[in-house]
Every structure is written in C-alpha cells, then in structure tokens.
Structure 1
Amino acid sequence: MNLMTKDLLINFLIILFPIFLAHVIYLVKYVYRLKAIRGWFLAIFPILSLILCMLFPVVTEEHFVWDLRWIPFILGGLYGGYRLGMILIVITLLIRYVTGGESGFYVACITFPFIGVSLFFISKYYQKISVGKKIVIGVALIFLVHILTDYVSTQIFDLVIGISLWKQYFIIQVIGIVIVIILWEVIMANFQVLEKLVKAEKLQIVGHLAASISHEVRNPLTVTRGYLQMLREDVSPQTKVKYANIALQELDRATDVINDYLTFASICPEKMERLRTSAEINHVVNSIKPLASKNGIDLKISVFDDEAYYVVGERKKFQQCLFNIIKNGIESMSEGELSIHLLHAAATIQIKIQDQGRGMSQEQINRLGEPYFTTENAGTGLGMMVSYSVIKSMEGTIYVSSVQGEGTCFSLNLPIHAHESM
C-alpha cells in the first residue's frame, strides 16, 4: 500500500466522522426530547464531510490534489434533494477556487454542476428503492464521475494523469461509497425505529392514563353500586338515607378522581390537614363493606383511642390509599378474614392490614409500587403505585411481609403530629 492509498484512507475516516456525529446528535435529540433539533441535522454529514475532505486533501508528487469529496457530494444530492445539492455545488466550487489551481477549478466547474443536476432527477426515485439498488446506483455514479473527469481533464485541459493513480482512486472511491451507503442506511433505519418508539411511547402513555383513570373511578362506582343494591332491600327509611348518602359520597369521590387524578403523578398535597387515623379507617371500612360482604370476607377492626394523635396529609388521598390496599386484600381472598389494626409506637402510628389471601413471593414484594405492576389478572397496578406515593408524601413508610398461600401484611408507619402543633 503506497502513501497515496494510506492518505486516501485517512480521508475516508474524515467522511465517517460527520456520519457518527449526526447519529450522536439524533440520539441526544431522542433522549432529551429536543424539539429545536429537526431534520436539518441530516445535512451535517454531506456538508461537513465535503468541507473536511477538500481542506485535507492528498497531494502527490505530480502535484495532483486528490480527495474523496465525490462521496459526500453524491450521497448528499441523492438523499438531500436539489436544495442540499445546490448548497454542496456552491461549497465545492468556492473551496476549490480559494485553494487555487486554475485547471482543477475549471474541471470542477464543469463536472460538479453536471453531476449535481443529474442527482436532482435521480434523487426523486432513490429514496424508494432497496439498499442493493442504491449501492449499484452509487457505484455507477462514481464510475460516471471518473469517466467525465478523465475526459474533461485530458481532452479539454490536456492534463495527463497516470493510470495507476486513477485505479487506486477509483477503487477507494467505490469501496468508500459502498461502506458509507450501508452505514447511512443503518443509521436512517435506527432513526425510523426511534421515531416509532417515540410515537408508541406517547400512545402507551395515553393508554396508561385511560387505564389508570378507569381503575381509580371503578372503586367508588363499585361501592355505589353495592349500596344502591342494598337500597332495594327491606330496610328502614333511616338506613336508606344512610346508604344513599354514602353512595352520593362515593360518586363525589369518583368525580374528584377524574378532576384530580393527574396530581397523583407527583402526589404533592394541595391541602394539608390533621387527620385522625381511626376516623379515616372507619370511613374507608364503611365504604368497602359491601364489596367485602359480596366476596364473603369478614372485616375485623382493632383501633386504639387516638384522640390526642394526628397524622398530616390530604384526606381524600389518604382514604384512597387505604381503600386501595384493603380492596387488594379482599380481592386476593376467596373467603376468610381481613384484619385492620391501629397501633401506637413511640413517635409513629402504625396501620397493619393483614389478609388471608394467596400471598406474594419476595420478587413480587420488591416490585410493589412500580407503575403498572400487578398480581391481578385484570389489574393495572396503579392503585398500589398511588398508595406508595401517598404514604411517601406523608413522610411515612410501607413495609410488606407475605407468605405464599397464607396471606400478606401491609404495615403503614406514619409520623405523629401533636394536636397543638398545627
């Protein structure tokens, strides 16, 4: 391998650099969702490659200047169309004029516009054909370029170029354009895949949002349906009023879920309140009793007098958290007892919710609270995600212990806030 071939291979590496640069820019755009970076960045490859090739040419002892400018010029015209092609023609002639050499400049003034105009017509069909045909067209254009350049150089300007130099130059150009076409097609395919992923991600978000809203709304609607069914039974007027009020409250809760669900994403409490934990537990238990009765589950409550102890949080979200965990426990059992204990330990209040369901493995316990992870066939996993986020916003923690086939225990630990502190 002589010196010219080595230098031309270095020139080829110069062509590859802008290709990978364009790829990196697109990946950055995808990762950081940069809308400012649009299709214009695809022009980085041909323009920058052309400029670098012409600024760092190979000069032989015969005072000929060689470079691989035709590769980015041809591919830029084929992929970029006439607009990019015109820019490349202007850049080529400008640099060729500045670098000097009258004969070479005049040769460029004939060959580049001629090939450039040809590319304008071919580019309309080039994008629609297969990669194999694109490679054939690229090699054919390199062959046409050499014939045209040789004819103009020898017949019009009487330049004598050695056959060995032409062979080396032609072979390297052919190999170069084949490699670059393949690389560019792979990169463009990656771009298309990423674009599809972005669209699929947006559709997935929409689907998850719809699923999450339906999940949260279904809970109060289920309770409402249960109380409405109980209204059909032979009960006292006072009991009917009580059932109707609870049903209306649950419908209001469904409305609140629809209006406020997006706030669950960050779980930033809007209205901090002092909450009596026992009162909130009793409220949730009263709301979920119809579902427990329907499934044949007994609810056992054991709470201490917490008149002097308060936790701080947003009432509706705390109730939603308790409702989700209790409902999951009920649905995990075909029969049995679900117990709820309220305990006081040092500076914390602990709520223990123990079911006698099928239990979970340690791997499932570790994934609790992840978006869209659920052990239920028809579940979405969003209820548990919300519960974890609510307890975290109240500066509390959730511990889970479970034995498969025996049941699961959720321990909610919340810091106590004295009555006079707020």
Structure 2
Amino acid sequence: MTKDLLVNFLFILLSLFLVQMLYMIKYTYRMKELKGWILGIFPVVSLVLCMLFPVAIETGFVWDLRWIPFILGGLYGGYRLGLFLLVLVLCIRYFQGIDVGFYIAVINFSFIGFVVCTLSKYYLQMKLKQKIMLSCSMSILSLIFSLLFAKLVFETNLDLTFWLHYITIHIVGMFISTLLWEIITINFNVLQRLVKTEKLQMVSHLAASISHEVRNPLTVSRGFIQMLANDISPQTRKDYAAIALQELDRATEIINDYLTFAKPALEKLETINVNEEIQHAINVITPLATMNNVQIQFSFTNQDQYFVKGERKKFQQCLINILKNGIESMENKGKLNIQQSYKNSILKIDIEDEGTGMTQEQIDRLGEPYFSTKEKGTGLGMMVSYSIIKGMNGSISVTSEYGKGTCFSIILPVNQ
C-alpha cells in the first residue's frame, strides 16, 4: 500500500512540473494567453489522477492523497478554485459509488474546504515557514477526520504500521508540495520582473539611440552656423548653409523613423501594386548594388499583379531597407534574389542574399532598437521595417545560416 501511495505522490509531482514547464513556455515565447489559470492546473490534474488511481482498503472507503492538492488549491487559489475543487471531488466520488463514504466525504470535504478558503487571504501574506506549518496542520486535521470516520463509521481495523506510513507520506508530501509550489511561484514572479526589465532596457536603448543619432547632425549644423558669422565669401557662406540644412533634414528623418516605430498604424491607406513597388525599390537600390558587385534578380509576369493595403512611401522604405541590408551583407559580390508566392489570399515576398548570415540569437533580436549586425549600424532600418509591415497587418520572418546567407520573408494579406 505504501508503494501505491508513493505513486499517488508522483502524480502530484508530475502536475507541479507541468506548471513549471508552462511558466517557462509562457516566458520564452511571450504567450499572453497563458495567465493566472496556470496555477489551477496543479490541484486539478493531481486531484483527478489521485482519485482515479486510489488505494482502496475497505469497501466504501478509499485511501489516496487527494487532500494535498485539495488543501493547497484552496489556500493558494481562494474560494473560487476551492469551490471548483470541492465540486470536482464530490463528482468523482459520486461516480465511484454512492454509499456511506460518499456522504461522509460531502461533510468532511465541505468543512475542510470552508476552513481552507477562509484562511486563504491570510495564507498568501504569510512567510514560507508559516505557510508550510499551516498547510501541514490542515493536512493533519483532515487526516484526523478521515481516520476517525474510518474507525467509527466503517470500523476498519488497520495495523499501526499502515497508519504511520499513511500519515508520514501525507505530511511529507504536503511539505514537499508546498515548498515546490512556492519555488515555482517565486520563479514565475522573477520571470515577470525580467520581462519588465527587458522592456525598460529597450526604452533606455531607444533613448540612447535617439540622443546619439540626433546629436551628430545637430552638432554639425551648429558648427556650420557658427562659421557663418565669420568673414567668408558669399559662395562659402552658401555652401555652409546648405550643409547645415542637410544635417537638419537628416535629424528630421531620424526622428520620423522613430515615430514610425512608435506608431506603426498607417495614417493613409492606399491600394499598392506590389510588383511596381518592388521594381521601384530595385531601381533605387541598383547603384548601391553595382558598387558592391551584387546582381539583383527579380522575375515576374504581368499576370502576377498583387495588391495590398498600406502607405506606398512607407512600404517602399521597408523594401529599400531590407534590400540595402542584403547588399551590404555581401562584402565582395553575390546575388540578391527576390521571389513572390501567393496562397490562400496571402502574399509572401522572399528576399534572399548570399551574405555572411546570422546566428539564431541575432535573428531573435532583429527589430530591437539599437541592435545591428553592422559595425556602425543603429538598427533603425529593421526596427522601422518591422513596424511598417506590422501596420499593414503583416509579418516578417527570417531564416538564416551563418556563413551562407539570409532570407527575409514579408507576409502580407492580399487586397481582393
């Protein structure tokens, strides 16, 4: 019987590890749909498993470790989870057979459940040592009721060895389960703080990037404006003024890029011919490709005309940014292939280069402010590109193999 009770305890440990795994998945993949109900998985799953695979000693009276998940579920989850667990216990016990034991279970679990739910609001504010003492005390109280009912109502005559094994396993199981649940809860809170810290770091990187990028053209403009006060020729004065204006325009463009990132929603929706915009972006970027000995290949027929909703200038900017990155990733020469595919009202634009490629860590950080694989890059281009495509209800996926090349896939819904 001790072996069967230990199997029951393994069900409880399995449920705890399942909760820990879901927490890690939620943190790793930023899954917002996994919320507070994760905590309810442990008591519900372990309770069901314990009751479906019990240790039956006498007819009409069942022994298992259901008290552990029932008590912890009520203490941590409050009256809602406690009430749900009470109904679940009674339903399973009902289908196991309506006898005297069923009615005793109704009285016993209702009383313990009421006590547990009442103590729940105080329990969550306790320290770890106090929580362990209270949960073990509730476990001992529930066992006393169970043993009394077993002796007085069912007149079971179990030897002292079994009583000691059953009580010991129950208390030790409650102690370990409480400790593990506390550790899992603490780990989850730490992960949540890490997510907030990452967001704050992104804000700080964004602020540093803005100040760094805008300061340079403003410093240049200030210098040339100061030089205008000197005794210089009219032509030189004109050249200095032109340079100062160019640098101010560059600062304006940088600010606009950040505004595009902060506000991805499109202000003016247009019907965009994708083929025409790709060809326009190729025409703009061709001089840079020629300088880097890069061949751009894009083949399409006039029948393949696809239209999407968005802002034409911003879409052009996105394409140029990605094409420019692909060309600059190829140091000497190479090919930049652009392909289109259409399926189920979804248009996919693949831009594949033969550059140095990226690691998985670099791919995961694409689109973050102030991250770039180029020595003097700021990450503005990709950051803005991601925001533009997101504003068009699309997405960008990246596949890359370090040393062989990278493929950017732009996925957009087609406007019928």
> After TM superposition, is the score higher than 0.5?
yes
- Structure 1 residue runs of 4 or more that deviate by more than 4 Å after TM superposition: 61-64, 261-265, 268-272, 274-277, 309-314, 345-348, 380-383, 387-390
User: Which residue in the other structure is 1:162 paired with?
Assistant: 158
Q: Distance in 1 between matches of 2:35 and 2:333?
A: 59
Q: Distance in 2 between matches of 1:50 and 1:98?
A: 15
Shift of residue 160 of structure 1?
A: 2.5
User: Which residue in the other structure is 2:131 paired with?
Assistant: 134
Gaps of 5+ in 2: 263-276, 297-315, 326-331, 336-358, 364-369, 382-416
Residue 386 (str. 1) matches residue 383 (str. 2): no
Shift of residue 261 of structure 1?
A: 4.6
Secondary structure of residue in 2 paired with 1:37? coil
Q: 1:254 to 1:317 in 2, by over 3 A?
A: farther
Shift of residue 259 of structure 1?
A: 0.8
Q: Is the 8 A contact 1:276 1:310 kept in 2?
A: no
Shift of residue 389 of structure 1?
A: 9.5
Which amino acid counterpart does residue 27 of structure 1 have in structure 2? M
User: Which residue in the other structure is 1:18 paired with?
Assistant: 15
| 1:80-119 per-position Cα deviation (integer Å, ceiling 9, x unaligned) | 0000000011011111111115122122111100000001
Q: Distance in 2 between matches of 1:274 and 1:86?
A: 66
Structure showing greater Rg: 1
- Aligned pairs (5 A) from 1:10-409: 10-60=7-57, 64-100=61-97, 102-155=99-152, 157-164=153-160, 165-261=162-258, 271-272=281-282, 273=284, 384=375, 386=377
Q: Is the 8 A contact 2:132 2:175 kept in 1?
A: yes
Q: Distance in 2 between matches of 1:167 and 1:101?
A: 29
Shift of residue 67 of structure 1?
A: 0.5
Which amino acid counterpart does residue 75 of structure 1 have in structure 2? L
Gaps of 5+ in 1: 278-305, 322-344, 349-366, 372-379, 391-422
Shift of residue 263 of structure 1?
A: 7.8
Q: Distance in 2 between matches of 1:81 and 1:124?
A: 7
RMSD over aligned CA atoms reads 3.8
User: Which residue in the other structure is 2:5 paired with?
Assistant: 8
Question: Could you tell me the TM-score, scaled by structure 2's length?
Answer: 0.65
Q: 1:136 to 1:263 in 2, by over 3 A?
A: same
Shift of residue 152 of structure 1?
A: 3.5
User: Which residue in the other structure is 1:410 paired with?
Assistant: none
Secondary structure of residue in 2 paired with 1:60? strand
Secondary structure of residue in 2 paired with 1:227? helix
Q: Is the 8 A contact 2:50 2:66 kept in 1?
A: yes
Which amino acid counterpart does residue 18 of structure 1 have in structure 2? S
Q: Is the 8 A contact 2:60 2:101 kept in 1?
A: no
Shift of residue 167 of structure 1?
A: 2.0
Percent of residue pairs identical: 49
Which amino acid counterpart does residue 386 of structure 1 have in structure 2? G
Secondary structure of residue in 1 paired with 2:140? helix
**Count of aligned residue pairs for this structure pair:** 306
Shift of residue 207 of structure 1?
A: 1.3
Which amino acid counterpart does residue 160 of structure 1 have in structure 2? T
Q: Distance in 2 between matches of 1:215 and 1:317?
A: 20
Secondary structure of residue in 2 paired with 1:65? strand
Shift of residue 143 of structure 1?
A: 1.3
Shift of residue 59 of structure 1?
A: 2.3
Q: 1:385 to 1:72 in 2, by over 3 A?
A: farther
Which amino acid counterpart does residue 123 of structure 1 have in structure 2? S
Query: 127-136 vs 58-67, which deviates more?
Result: 58-67
Q: Distance in 2 between matches of 1:227 and 1:103?
A: 96
Q: Is the 8 A contact 1:274 1:311 kept in 2?
A: no
Q: Is the 8 A contact 1:276 1:311 kept in 2?
A: no
